[in-house]
Structure 1
């Protein structure tokens, strides 16, 4: 059983498209809104539109994609329809910035709606075309593509923005159209994807492993996303550093995640190297298992946060941010394959929606919770709180009993 690298990289282009849009949106939309709106609180609320849609529309679309039947398959039609619409509304955002708040706001809301309508189907396509034993490896590849998009968006977007503020949005829109064409021409969903879906009855409530897994996902995203949100403010207001110096440290964690995204999948699920001429295996590694790999990553995250909390200056702590990115790859790469492994026939889209539901809840709850703690108890509790949530995630993972890769059919008893 071998991974279809071509299909996996093409599916990774879907992740590339998602990873391209959101860094640009988060970086420049507050600036666009500031032309018309003075209140930073209002702008902050407007910037949470995508997370609120992820609470509602993303799980619903994932559920519907399990039951969609077309000649193009059940996942790809959502991309073929909503990715071009996302591109259209992306191009309208600079027009709104130039002309009217209502056009800017309307284009932003519609872009968020369109993006939310194809995110979970395109993610669910990976387990549709990838056998269960290979999903951690495939997830590493598609997350590598998402990380690559982040680098393209931040560096390329900055170059385009200096030329004209609307160019990053136009450029990302054109790339989305290109990705749509590639999917239309080269990706075909497997025949088994049209099997009759079982009725989805919120099965994760009845499945203790799925419930604990989703709670773990919530806890570690609370900690990690709050780190990304608040570490610059923490460095500036608590340690007296320049905000640019702190923000630059996040590039180390991003780079480490990008480098280790693919190896982390192989670490969990194992690998074997064969001689192409003789067919003999000359190197084989059975893998640590997804649960052990995730727990190992959480322990490393706790260690990194503990060491960061002891420092009075983060300037020379770049290696700890590398450790954060390295450990995060162990956690993030292997969590989604575990969730899909728990899904029953015809439920992958629904379980994908639940994955994004709990991660979006964390995105909404985490930063305000940390902000409340800072207001009442000070920044000294920053890494203490992050460690607490990572520890809770590890405890939840210890209660998970399912989600490991299954052996290929020839190896099953």
Structure 2
């Protein structure tokens, strides 16, 4: 490529990355506001915190089934608009409509119905936007693009909090309009600006369709899973196991910190809940450097180093049992977590055997992450029941250390594979 072509390609990558980040920003704005305010709507009908928690966790349960399915369905779609945009162009306005209906429901039954409908549609569009990163961006630059996307989605937590702070009390129903309108406006931008039939991965998939040995253009989901499980190359399975283990450690550190702060540090409920706020800023600051480190030192090394930092920080929390020390510990852990979350999905995309299955792999990553988020807090909670809250951070460190061991073994397999291909 000439210098001009290289420069034009970089500009194109930046433009599509910002557009994808904008789409996910709009989607996550509704998700985060949903998490902030729908529990309050539920409390108008039920008093049980367990029931509220169960209903609020329903969206993650639906995601386990919906996201791999829609990822695979979009992989097998061929239109003049591409394979992701047609679903997004329809799904995003529908999600906005159901989101707007949430505060207008008048009974528990209607609220739950609208919650289910919103969660179904929102889980459908989420992996499609994420899958456009590997569709458009070359493998060597995907970490940078994913970092920009993660920063955009993390900012929605702040946006949802600001809407709650400044709008909800005066306009409890009108506040839902802001994220919904944002989603609708971004849908218009997406339709005008993006055609993923022009992406490199889509064009590669078309070529693979014409050369498929069995003449079939569709790749069934069961075939992808069977290939993943039976292939002698275990790298993809090991990476998913890493996602499961570290996802468990990460979610346990976030979901159990409030009772830990109250039981071990002697804080009030509000003070304990605020322990992780500075770590959110640390994560944002570390996201893009984590992508650059992956490009310089390798993704698996960066992922392993990040998880090791997370584990060491958690273990150090056992020694530094003060509010300030715990805040520092969680900031260091967030930096390590950024190295993982920015690069793990990219590593899985780059291991995918074909451009025709990138959406399915996005769904598989999401499912594994959600399963870790479900099982990790439960596992650590059970250990806490046996050993006490004092040891909780060390328990989390052990779970993260197991993920480090898996990624070290995966790195050895990767080096062996590289050596065999070069010999």
Fold agreement, TM-score > 0.5 = yes
Matches within 5 A, 1:53-72: 53-72=62-81
Q: Which residue of 1 aligns with 2:85?
A: 76
Is 1:108 the counterpart of 2:115? The answer is: yes
Residues 18, 308 of structure 1: alpha-carbon distance in 2 compared, 3 angstrom cutoff? farther
1:191 Cα offset (Å): 5.2
Find the residue that maps to 2:410 and give its secondary structure.
Answer: coil
Which of the numbers 213, 216, 219 marks the counterpart of 2:239? 213
Q: Which residue of 1 aligns with 2:259?
A: 233
Which segment drifts farther, 363-372 or 43-52? 363-372
Quote the Cα distance in structure 2 between the aligned partners of 1:136 and 1:112: 28
Find the residue that maps to 1:163 and give its secondary structure.
Answer: coil
Give the 4+ runs in structure 1 shifted more than 6 A: none
Find the residue that maps to 2:80 and give its secondary structure.
Answer: coil
Contact 1:341 1:403 in 2 (8 A): no
- Unpaired runs of 5+ residues, structure 1, are 270-286, 405-411
Q: Which residue of 1 aligns with 2:275?
A: 249
Residues 257, 191 of structure 1: alpha-carbon distance in 2 compared, 3 angstrom cutoff? closer
Q: Which residue of 2 aligns with 1:408?
A: none
Contact 1:12 1:146 in 2 (8 A): yes
Which of the numbers 390, 394, 410 marks the counterpart of 2:400? 390
Which segment drifts farther, 184-193 or 73-82? 184-193
Find the residue that maps to 2:321 and give its secondary structure.
Answer: coil
Quote the Cα distance in structure 1 between the aligned partners of 2:174 and 2:333: 33
Residues 316, 372 of structure 1: alpha-carbon distance in 2 compared, 3 angstrom cutoff? closer
Which of the numbers 192, 199, 204 marks the counterpart of 2:228? 204
Quote the Cα distance in structure 1 between the aligned partners of 2:45 and 2:118: 19
Matches within 5 A, 1:132-147: 132-147=139-154
Quote the Cα distance in structure 1 between the aligned partners of 2:335 and 2:264: 26
1:196-239 alpha-carbon deviations (Å, 9 max, x no partner): 35734313222400000000001111011111111011101332
Q: Which residue of 1 aligns with 2:192?
A: 185
Is 1:289 the counterpart of 2:298? The answer is: yes
C-alpha root-mean-square deviation of aligned residues, in Å? 2.1
Q: Which residue of 2 aligns with 1:342?
A: 351
Scaled by the length of structure 1, the TM-score of the pair is 0.89
1:304-334 alpha-carbon deviations (Å, 9 max, x no partner): 1012122332245433222122111111101
Find the residue that maps to 1:72 and give its secondary structure.
Answer: coil
Quote the Cα distance in structure 2 between the aligned partners of 1:316 and 1:338: 33
Q: Which residue of 2 aligns with 1:176?
A: 183
Is 1:125 the counterpart of 2:132? The answer is: yes
Contact 1:20 1:152 in 2 (8 A): yes
Is 1:377 the counterpart of 2:401? The answer is: no
Scaled by the length of structure 2, the TM-score of the pair is 0.87
Number of residue pairs matched by the alignment: 388
Quote the Cα distance in structure 2 between the aligned partners of 1:375 and 1:167: 43
Which segment drifts farther, 24-33 or 293-302? 24-33
